A and B are shown apart, each in its own frame.
Chain A
Amino acid sequence: MEEKRPIRVLIAKVGCDIHERGALTLMTTLRDNGMEVIYTGRYQTPKGVANAAVSEDVDVVALSDHTGSLPIIAESVLSELEKFGVSDIKVVAGGLLTPADVKSLEDMGVTGNYGPGTPMEVIVEHIRGLV
Chain B
Amino acid sequence: MARTTNVDELIDLMKNRDIKGLARAISIVENDGEGKVRLLNEAFKEASGTCLTLGFTGAPGVGKSTLINSVIKQYRQAGKTVGVITVDPTSPFSGGAVLGDRLRMKEHNTDSDVYIRSLASRKALGGLSEATKYALYLFKAFGFDVIIVETLGVGQDEIDVAKFVDVTALLLVPGYGDTIQMAKAGIMEIADIFIINKSDRPGAELLKKQILNILYMKPEGERPPVVNTSADRDEGVEAVMEAIELVRSRSTIDGTERYRRRIAEEIRSSALSLLKNKVDQHLEQMVDRVLTCATTPIEAAEDILRHLRG
Contact = CB atoms under 8 A, between A and B. Distances in A.
Interface of A: 1-6, 27-28, 30-41, 44-45, 47-49, 51-52, 54-57, 84-88
A88 B27 CA distance: 15
19 contacts: A1-B34, A3-B27, A5-B31, A6-B95, A6-B96, A6-B120, A31-B97, A32-B91, A36-B99, A37-B99, A40-B106, A40-B109, A55-B115, A56-B102, A56-B118, A84-B20, A85-B20, A86-B20, A87-B2
A30 B28 contact: no
A36 B249 CA distance: 39
A79 to B, nearest CB: 15
A76 to B, nearest CB: 13
B292 interface: no
Q: Bin chain B's interface residue count.
A: 35 or more
A47 B26 CA distance: 22
Contact of B94 (A2, A32, A40, A86): A32
Given A3-B33, A31-B91, A51-B109, A37 B27 contact: no
Given A2-B33, A56-B117, A38 B94 contact: no
B23 A55 contact: yes
Given A38-B99, A39-B98, A40-B102, A54 B5 contact: no
Given A31-B97, A51-B112, A56-B117, A3 B102 contact: no
Interface of B: 1-3, 5, 18-20, 23-24, 26-28, 30-34, 91, 93-100, 102-103, 106, 109-110, 112, 115-118, 120, 122
Given A36-B99, A55-B117, A84-B20, A4 B1 contact: no
B31 A3 contact: yes
A66 B120 CA distance: 30
Contact of A52 (B32, B96, B102): B102
A57 B23 contact: yes
B26 A36 contact: no
Given A2-B33, A86-B1, A39 B103 contact: yes
Contact of A88 (B3, B23, B98): B3
| Top 9 A-B residue pairs of the complex, sorted by shortest distance between their CB atoms | A3-B33, A48-B109, A3-B31, A31-B96, A57-B23, A5-B31, A34-B96, A34-B95, A48-B110
A23 B191 CA distance: 37
A65 B164 CA distance: 42
Contacts of B34: 1, 3
B30 A55 contact: no
B96 A33 contact: yes
A6 to B, nearest CB: 6
B106 to A, nearest CB: 5
Given A84-B20, A85-B20, A55 B116 contact: yes
Nearest to A45: B110
A2 B96 CA distance: 20
A36 B120 contact: yes
Contacts of B5: 2-3
A57 B24 contact: yes
B32 A57 contact: no
Contacts of B26: 57
A2 B1 CA distance: 16
